[in-house]
């Protein structure tokens, strides 16, 4: 991954987080964070 591509992806992620905060109050981000934590715990069980 080049630096240019990493910067573009970072900017896209920040824009999407800002849009989620503006329109939904970070509810979508919190939902995904909770699901990710559940997935990590589930995968740790199989370790």
Strands (E), 1-47: none
pLDDT reported for residue 1? 86
Give CA–CA dist 18/26, Å, rounded.
Answer: 9
The predicted-structure confidence for 1-47, as pLDDT tens digits, reads as follows 899 999 999 999 999 999 999 999 999 999 999 999 999 999 998 77
pLDDT reported for residue 15? 97
DSSP assignment, residue 35?
H
Residue spans per domain, the chain:
3-45
First to last CA, the chain: 29
């Amino acid at each position: 991954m080049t630096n240019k591509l990493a910067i573009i992806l970072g900017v896209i992620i920040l824009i999407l987080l800002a849009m989620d905060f503006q329109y939904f109050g970070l509810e979508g981000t919190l939902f995904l964070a909770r699901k990710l934590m559940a997935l990590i715990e589930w995968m740790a069980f199989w370790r």
